[in-house]
Amino acid sequence: MRWIAGALSGLAFTSCALAVAAEPRQGEVYFFETCAGCHGPGALGDGPTAALLSVPVPDLTRIARQNDGVFDPARVIRMIDGRDGLAAHGGPMPMFGGLLTGPSVVIDGPDGSPISTTAPILSIVDWLETIQEE
């Protein structure tokens, strides 16, 4: 992971970083279990429940393209865990962010400030970065 900066404790960082690094596709598994219902298994916004929503479900393979070619992991983390509220689902999008519990990890935000999240959310964000269209 290019952007893991540390963790809340050295021991937690070591075990968490090793767990995430040892299973690079774990983010895809978490995504499929918690996000694919709306976003689709390929993150294209075409999940089976997308048509039931009152707002369009975004294509997550275009996050970087829509941000001048830059994938901002800190912003994606905040979208998943609810810190960046979206109007979908009648409130912040990530109703499921609270379900993605696990060891805490910290990454550097775009301004160098630390952003804390969980290993499952970080693994989803890491996987999403790998599927960005150019």
Task: Tell whether the model's pLDDT for residue 32 goes beyond 90.
Answer: yes
Instruction: Summarize pLDDT for 34-78 with one digit per residue, the tens.
Output: 899 999 999 999 999 988 888 888 999 999 999 999 999 998 998
Q: What is the pTM of this model?
A: 0.75
Cα 41 vs. chain centroid, distance in angstroms? 14
Query: Are the C-beta atoms of 5 and 107 separated by less than 8 Å?
Result: yes
Domain assignments of the chain as residue spans, ordered by start? 23-101+120-130
Query: Are the C-beta atoms of 129 and 71 separated by less than 8 Å?
Result: yes
Q: What is the mean pLDDT of the chain?
A: 78
Beta bridge partners of 118: 104
Q: What is the pLDDT of residue 6?
A: 36
- CB count within 10 Å of CB 56 equals 9
Query: Which CATH number is associated with domain 23-101+120-130?
Result: 1.10.760
Average pLDDT over residues 23-35: 86
